[in-house]
Amino acid sequence: MTWIVLLFLVLGVVFNIMGNLGVLVFPDVYTRLQASSTCGTTAVFSVFIASMLITGLSVMTAKILVITLFFLVSSPVAAHIVARYAWNKDMVVWRKFHD
């Protein structure tokens, strides 16, 4: 059990670091948003699963489950609002040119 918890915590840390690295590496608003928001969501979700496993079967687990469900609803909406604002402001999408 401890090893599964450790695995999920490590996954959370790795996704978080790589998401932040993606913000630095990628060229424009949309690609940076992809890296930060989506990798961040997976990271936080992994940490939530790890904490659910570590508390075992109790009332606390149900509360964390509810928080996780709310997070799954609210996080993509926040990302979508940022993307929608950028799209409505006519920001140009970066694309690779084949030479």
Partner 1 sequence: MDLHRKWKIVRVVLTTFYLMAGWVLFTAALDPLMLGLGLILSFFVSLLTFKLFIEKNEVDFHSLLPRIHYGVFYLLLVIYKMYVASFKMLWLIIRGRINPRVVHFRTRLKSDIARVALTSSITLTPGTVTLSLDDDHLIVHWLDAKTTHSRYAGELVKGVFERLLKRIWI
Binding site for partner 1 (CB under 8 A): 14-15, 18, 21-22, 25-26, 30-31, 33-35, 37-39, 41-42, 45, 59, 62-63, 66, 72-73, 75-77, 79-80, 83-84, 86-88, 93-96
Q: Which two tokens stand for residue 5?
A: 């918890």
- Closer of 6 and 76 to partner 1 (Cβ): 76
User: Could you tell me which of 33, 14, 12 has the C-alpha nearest to residue 23?
Assistant: 33
- Closer of 10 and 66 to partner 1 (Cβ): 66
Taking the C-alpha atoms of residue 46 and residue 86, their distance in angstroms, rounded to an integer, is: 29
Nearest approach, Cβ of 47 to partner 1 (angstroms)?
A: 14
Q: Which two tokens stand for residue 75?
A: 């996080």
Nearest approach, Cβ of 5 to partner 1 (angstroms)?
A: 16
- Rounded (10°) CA dihedral 67, 68, 72, 73: -20
